[in-house]
Amino acid sequence: MMFGAWGNPDHDESIAIIHRALDAGINVVDTADIYSQGESEEIVGKALAGGLRDEVVLATKFHAAMSDNPNHRGNSRRWIAREVENSLRRLQTDWIDLYQVHRPEPGTDFDETLGALSDLVHQGKIRYIGTSTFEPSDIVEGQWIAERRGRERVVSEQPPYSILARGIEREVLPVAQRYNLAVIPWSPLAGGWLSGRYRKGAELPVSSRSARVPGRFDLARPVNIAKLEAVEQLTLLAQEAGLPLVHLALAFVLEHPAITSAIIGPRTLEQLESQLEAVKVTLSPDVLDRIDEIVPPGTTINPEDAGYQPPSLTDPTLRRSSSTGR
């Protein structure tokens, strides 16, 4: 997400980051059509040109609005058939290894979505189907549809997961384990909160992410003050354990047995280098217990860090009977 206008607009620097990651042994590159309105996919396509494409598991996503046209978004068969061609062109590839539904769309039958994606698998344009930030019931429904209606099966889920956003521990991770889904969480550094840049008494760093989703960063909100308090405690814990906070945060995510890998989103080469060694870190039970004390299991301090709220919560009309006028 950090390649292009949303993060690093320098294509050459972004490509250098991808190449360094591949040299370090990373073999999965995840992007989405919406990231900088397609620019991220274009950068990834350039980076993987010249023979590198075959060595990488390439993942991208669809769902979000790509223009003001209401037909240029969503999970319908019509949009999927069109947008996959756009992503293939931007990525300079003939196939996508993992094509993911970026968010649920209650107004579109999930069977329609899976039917369209199954057709793309049969056509050889995608290899596997994934979801991102889906509710547990939606994940189960996808498995049910595949079994009962002969669709290709969803094989992965990409949810938000970090020490500060542990909500998926309640149901998403157990459900993923039950159905043998790969889990590749996004934002293991909690949108930068666990990068070491956010400290009490210090000026908050300015980023494009904080401008896009201010509710996750505004310190006028009590939930974000609570996040900052937790970060202070976690920083001290990392120091006691002899670790950078970044390594503590990433190692925590990788520790859960349901997690396949963690998605990192470096904007600079320096940020990438600071994260690579985290894969070698193993946290002791004492450290994990301390983390549980600071942020209890299943807790997401700021609900906006969950990445998705279903219409049943965001649309008041769905909770009020029109017949009573209440």
Give catalytic residues, as residue numbers: 35
At CA 311, angle to CA 168 and CA 174, rounded to 5? Answer: 20
DSSP annotation string for 41-77:
HHHHHHHHTTTTGGGSEEEEEE-S-SSSSTTSSSS-H
**Residue 22 host element (H or E):** helix 11-23
> What one-character DSSP code corresponds to residue 204?
P
Residue 67 contacts by C-beta under 8 Å, 6 or more apart in sequence? none
Query: What is the CB neighbour count within 10 angstroms for residue 6?
Result: 21
At CA 142, angle to CA 136 and CA 143, rounded to 5? Answer: 95
Query: What is the CB neighbour count within 10 angstroms for residue 20?
Result: 15
Question: Which of 140, 83, 163, 68 lies closest to 117, judged by CA?
Answer: 83
3-state secondary structure of 219: coil
> What one-character DSSP code corresponds to residue 94?
S
Q: Which ranges of 129-284 would DSSP assign to H, the alpha helix?
A: 136-149, 172-178, 208-212, 222-241, 245-255, 269-276
Q: How far is 48 from 46, CA to CA, in rounded Å?
A: 6
